Amino acid sequence: MTGTLTPETSLDAPLTIGGRSFRSRLMVGTGKYRNNEEMVRALEASGAEIVTVAVRRVDLDRTKEEGVLYHLSPDQYFLLANTAGCYTADEAIRYARLAREAGFNDFVKLEVIGDRETLLPDTEGLLTAARTLAREGFQVLAYTNDDLVTALRLEDAGCAAIMPLASPIGSGLGLANPYSIRTIKRRLTAPVIVDAGVGTASDACLTMEQGVDGILMNTALAEAQDPVAMARAMGLAVEAGRLAYLAGRMPRREVAVPSSPSRGMLA
């Protein structure tokens, strides 16, 4: 045991995506909170630096809320715009360009959805959009399924990070296929950020223990009974899982091995 071990300094390097370094490996969404005040407190409790936002029409009648930036300082968080709700490559490209025009950065969380029930990605549209946006200088973080071949193609397309799902968006089912996620992480050079499906802290910890670079979540916080407490739990779980991965777990054995000496027992 090294006496001076702290996760921030001794073992871990910062997470680097598209030339930017981040100290937190937890990214959080800003959707579906009961109110903005709770959202702001949950973001703070999570320790996240990167927060996702969506691009939508301004409500001209002003009957609804102001934009999210009314509640969230772009100086405090790195805004990652998504293309959520887009079902074609063209639509996703249009949303990404609009998001970049907002003037904060050239990062985009690219989603091209292929099925309304499962919200699973349309990988063909995703690859098309990823290629175009990468060529236009975007740092593309691509939401995809847990398929290695698609992940490899997205990396070839020039994506800054690949974001395979743990399980479907908003499902809270946890890490459905640790093997696939490990395989993707092992085979890719680009950062792997697991996006979607995490339900509670153990899911986040188990996901980070697979060796991935980070996790993005939204519903697990927004729909928790206490989003602020869950945000804190998730921050700790991501750190714990990351540290456990770096520490290297003991081997699994199917027999017991005593922890106390077998010698020196009384006669």
Partner 1 sequence: MSAARLLRLTVNGEPREVPGPATLLDLLAHLGLDPRTVVVERNREIVRRPRLGDTAVADGDTIELVHFVGGG
Judged by the rule CB under 8 A, the positions of this chain that interact with partner 1 are 29-33, 36, 39, 52-58, 60, 62, 65, 67-69, 79, 81-82, 84, 94, 97-99, 101-103, 169-170, 196, 216-219
CB closer to partner 1 out of 66 and 156: 66
CB of 103 to partner 1, least distance (A): 8
Catalytic residue, candidates 32, 64, 109, 185: 109
Answer yes or no: 32 catalytic: no
Q: Running DSSP on this structure, what letter comes out for residue 140?
A: E
Give the CA count within 13 Å in the CB-facing half-sphere of 120: 10
Based on CB atoms, which residue is closest to partner 1, 175 or 243? 175
Complex with partner 1: residue 72 or 243, whichever CB lies closer: 72
**DSSP state letter for 18:** T
Which H, E and C letters describe 170-203, residue by residue? CCCCCCCCHHHHHHHHHHCCCCEEEECCCCCHHH
Q: Rounded CA gap, 144 and 215, in Å? A: 13
- 215 vs 243, which CB is nearer to partner 1? 215
Neighbours of 206 (CB within 10 A): 18
- Closest contact distance (angstroms) between CB of 29 and partner 1 is 3
Q: How far is the CB of 187 from partner 1 (least distance, A)?
A: 26
Q: What are the start-end ranges of the H helices in 64-108?
A: 89-101
Residues belonging to the active site: 109
